[in-house]
Amino acid sequence: MRIFTGIGLALQGQRGFLFPWVPVLIAIGIGGYFLVKQEPSVVMLAGFGAGGLLALAFGAVLPEAARPVAVAVGLCCLGFAVAGGWAHRVSGPVIDWRFYGAIEGRVVGMDRSVSDRVRLTLDQVVLERVAPERVPRRVRVSLHGDQFGFRPAPHMRVILTGHLAPPSGPVEPGGFDFQRHAWFQGIGAMGYTRTPVLVLEPPPAGVSVLGLRMGLSEHIRATLGGEAGGFAAAVTTGDRSGVSKQTLEALRASNLAHLLAISGLHMGLLVGFVFAALRYGMALSPSVALRLPTKKLAAVFAMGVAGAYLMLSGGNVATERAFVMAAVALAAVVFDRRAISLRAVAIAAVVILLVQPEAMLGPGFQMSFAATTALVAVFETLQKRGPLEMPRWVRPAFALCVSSFVAGAATAPFGAAHFNAVAAYGLPANLMAVPIMGVVVVPFAVVAACLSPFGLEVVGLVPMGWGLEAILRVAHFFAGLEGARLHVPSPTAVVLPLFALGALFLVIWQGRLRVVGILPVILAAGVWGLAERPHVLIADSGGLVGVLQDGGRALSKERGQGFVAQNWLENDGDGATQAEAALRWQVAHVVGGRSIRHLSGKRQVAGFDGCKAGEIVVLSHAPVQEVVGCDVLHPEILKDTGSVALSWRGGVLQKKTAREISGRRLWNTRDLRQ
């Protein structure tokens, strides 16, 4: 009871500031679900859900000292149950073989692959010679080769001949789990086609949200043309298919990629512009201003505009978070409450976590909420200290500098961890580009929307294009500077949770004790700095091997397995290309006293004549006969283990496999899905 009493006393000074901890506790439960090695049964998930609800219910009648503990346990249990329930809710067939043949389906998504190819997501799928119950709900196919003018359209039914395979697992043990990502998207197979796609049925008559989005996107690209047109379509409808790989890299290198994603900045600028324009517009009429609550009417209309923008954008996590934040702020205006606060951020986080619990693992969720939380906390602190002594005309510039610095600092650890790079010139690039977005792009986008019913949208689109071209020039300028992108190695799994919890304690906790939050942040930085990369990495296909040496990781092939190679090098913090890393490769590498060899291709594998004791040999194909005397890894073995990492610690070989770390989960074990 003394523990409960101590907790109760510690929380007495936190009254009125405890709600922001609700999404944190739910997130801890969600994280617990994704960390377990064995998929929890439905009965166990139901038990966690019921236990969480009971803990919350009994928390209301328990002594005040014990109440916070009961609520915390209840929220964690609910988070665990929600994540598991949603994983079962999206369950669907996943192919576990390589398929080649006719693929028929309806187009429900269009984007670009890592190799900059147009990619289609299909539902209502029919696969040649495959029973309907084994066909995935959705498949994703990249279009290679000449498509002879084929123009995909939403809900068009197509047929093609292509290759499909199951979504791949982590490219290295503990790395990004694409199988899990695809599972929650309902994608059960991925592949490509080199033959022309044929149209079976045109899009049905009528207007759909996806059709409206893609039609608007195509119209914007056709009107503006070039990279500005693709950029405009991306910030308007969320369709990035018109943005080239080079432009995307320039935006990332200059830390301006957030302008491409429809997020809080876009939603805030749009809602703020509409709200201000309506409020001041109505104020021009004394009769309207005196008789109607113009501020509240402007807030209601701006909320409707925000909802329409959410619909047109495709509703990714960042946009949903921005919409909830905007809706909470505008509702606060309507009900005469405080518009911007950590409580509003917490409400947005709770909504996203309960609707899309898997989003918590992605960079979009983490960076979006990190930036928003930090900005709200900093500006609340500045507001409490009273107005700053500075000329009125300086304040917007000061706010821009502070917001750019704070948002950049808050998102930097998450961006570095997920993308293995830090933009050295991100602050000056944002100081130049963000005002253009706010003063030129967003206002003229609203003008274009208002004039579009009269066929005069070009009046707004053309100036909007000028603004976007200016932003692209800024991006290419800073991306072209020497040292624009600093590469960093991937942290261990504990780093980001430690950093997030420490930073949240600094922001949410009230009183001097909040400085304790600095300790986990410092510890996270120290653990990151001491992280060691595996000496040897082996792809789950057996098609690529990477050996870490003094000059960087040597790769066994200069082409093929490009996605795997790119991820390995990025995770090492190595800016080399696959071809450059392949120049480091030798016929055999000696690591920890053991020789590492890779034989790729049927001819090399067929000519394999044995190996020496203690040698490690990786084959891209299964050998014709059993090999003894050394350690051999080939696709038949790697199919069960996934990718492999080998490290030598104190002269002892340590082997980790992707399956050991990810465990037996719904998305990687067929038996659990049946």
Cβ atoms of 633 and 616 closer than 8 Å: yes
Question: How far is the C-alpha of 208 from the C-alpha of 109, rounded, in Å?
Answer: 13
Confidence band of 4 (pLDDT split at 50, 70, 90): low
Instruction: Tell me which residue has tokens 């594998």.
Output: 605
CA 224 vs CA 251, 270, 473: distances in Å:
19, 21, 16
Closest CA to 543 of 528, 560, 526, 530: 560
Which pLDDT score is estimated for 60? 72
Whole-angstrom CA distances from 637 to 516, 605, 620, 633 are 48, 15, 11, 6
Q: What is the residue-wise DSSP string for 561-605?
A: -HHHHHHHHHHHT----HHHHHTT--SEEEETTEEEEEE-SHHHH
**506: nearest Cα among 402, 374, 616:** 374
Lowest-confidence pick of 316-325, 360-369, 422-431: 316-325
pTM metric for this prediction: 0.86
- What does the alpha-carbon distance between residue 230 and residue 247 come to, in Å, rounded to a whole number? 10
CA distances 319 to 266, 333, 365, 536, 642, Å, are 9, 21, 10, 40, 34
Q: Grade residue 206 by pLDDT with cuts at 50, 70 and 90.
A: low
Rounded to whole angstroms, how far apart are CA atoms 361 and 83? 12
Write the DSSP assignment of 197-234 as a string of letters.
-EEEEPPPSS--HHHHHHHHHHHHHHHH-HHHHHHHHH
CA distance 437 to 31: 36
Indicate the range of 123-137, 443-457, 623-637, 640-654 predicted with least confidence: 623-637
95, 73, 62: which is closest to 21 by C-alpha? 73
Largest CA distance in the chain: 94
Number of C-beta neighbours around residue 2 at 10 A:
7
pLDDT digits (tens, 9 = 90+) for 7-26: 665 666 666 678 889 999 99
How far apart (Å, rounded) are the C-alpha atoms in residues 444 and 216?
A: 16
Using CA atoms, how far apart are residues 7 and 12, in angstroms rounded to an integer? 9
pLDDT (tens digit, 9 = 90+) per residue, 217-254? 888 888 888 888 888 888 888 777 778 888 888 888 88
Q: State the Cα–Cα distance between residues 444 and 217, nearest whole angstrom.
A: 16
Q: What is the pLDDT of residues 306-337, one digit of tens each?
A: 888 787 776 666 677 778 778 887 888 887 77
Task: Please report the pLDDT score of residue 262 as a whole number.
Answer: 66
> What value does the mean pLDDT take over residues 442-453?
83
The CATH number that domain 99-201 falls under is 2.40.50
Closest of 166, 147, 184 to residue 317, by C-alpha = 184
The tens digit of pLDDT for each residue in 111-167 reads: 877 666 888 999 999 999 999 999 999 999 999 888 877 888 888 999 999 999 999
